Amino acid sequence: MTNLFTNILEYLLTVIEQANLITLFFSLTFGIVFAPVNRETIIVFMAVVAAANTINPIIAFFITAGATYFGYSLGFFVGRGFKAGLADKFLTDPSPLTKKRIARSYQLLDKYGTWAIIFSYFVPGVRHFLPVILGVGTMPSTQFLITSKVGSIIWTASFFLPGYFFGDFWTSFF
């Protein structure tokens, strides 16, 4: 088990070290809108690589936070730009899984208001639909963009900072 984990960790670290930061930016950006890619793992491993002085940690942090923010904003403006078409396709006749995620998004909005934007970063599935739902809705762009920026920084920090400060430490457990 230890060798398997070590091999996987070394492989992922090599991939991140060799990947261009722009490539990572776009994979994080479009992953939040189009596919449920596990960005948390990418962020933690970027932090571990930054801790090893392979990439600048400040640049790595802001690239990951910026990519997340840009992806959320993209989802919002896709919803804003295609209100009628998206509403018809996703909100009137969704698949059962999509219907569940949309319902969860509305529950968060009803319960927490704009705080739901920040909370949604931490709820897989919801984070893919909430920006689009808000774009289709009536939320002002400025309110969404400011709250989303705060959410992206908090969400990124919650994965980046532990990866950066404890990256070498947690590998000793496996």
20: exposed, middle or buried (C-beta count within 10 Å: 0-12, 13-18, 19+)?
exposed
Query: Could you give the CA distance from residue 56 to residue 54 in angstroms, rounded to a whole number?
Result: 7
Q: Do 44 and 163 meet the contact criterion of CB atoms below 8 Å apart?
A: yes
- Taking phi first (over 0 means left), then psi (-120 to 50 degrees means alpha), and beta for anything else, what does residue 35 get? beta
Query: Could you give the CA distance from residue 163 to residue 110 in angstroms, rounded to a whole number?
Result: 33
**DSSP H helical segments within 52-125, as ranges?**
57-81, 83-86, 96-112, 115-120
User: Predicted confidence band at 62 (pLDDT cuts at 50, 70, 90)?
Assistant: very high
User: Predicted confidence band at 93 (pLDDT cuts at 50, 70, 90)?
Assistant: low
Secondary structure tally for the chain: helices H, strands E: 9, 0
> Structure pTM?
0.72
Query: Could you give the CA distance from residue 116 to residue 98 in angstroms, rounded to a whole number?
Result: 18
Query: Tens of pLDDT along 118-167?
Result: 988 888 777 877 888 888 877 889 999 999 999 999 999 999 999 888 87
Number of other residues whose CB lies within 10 A of the CB of residue 174 = 12
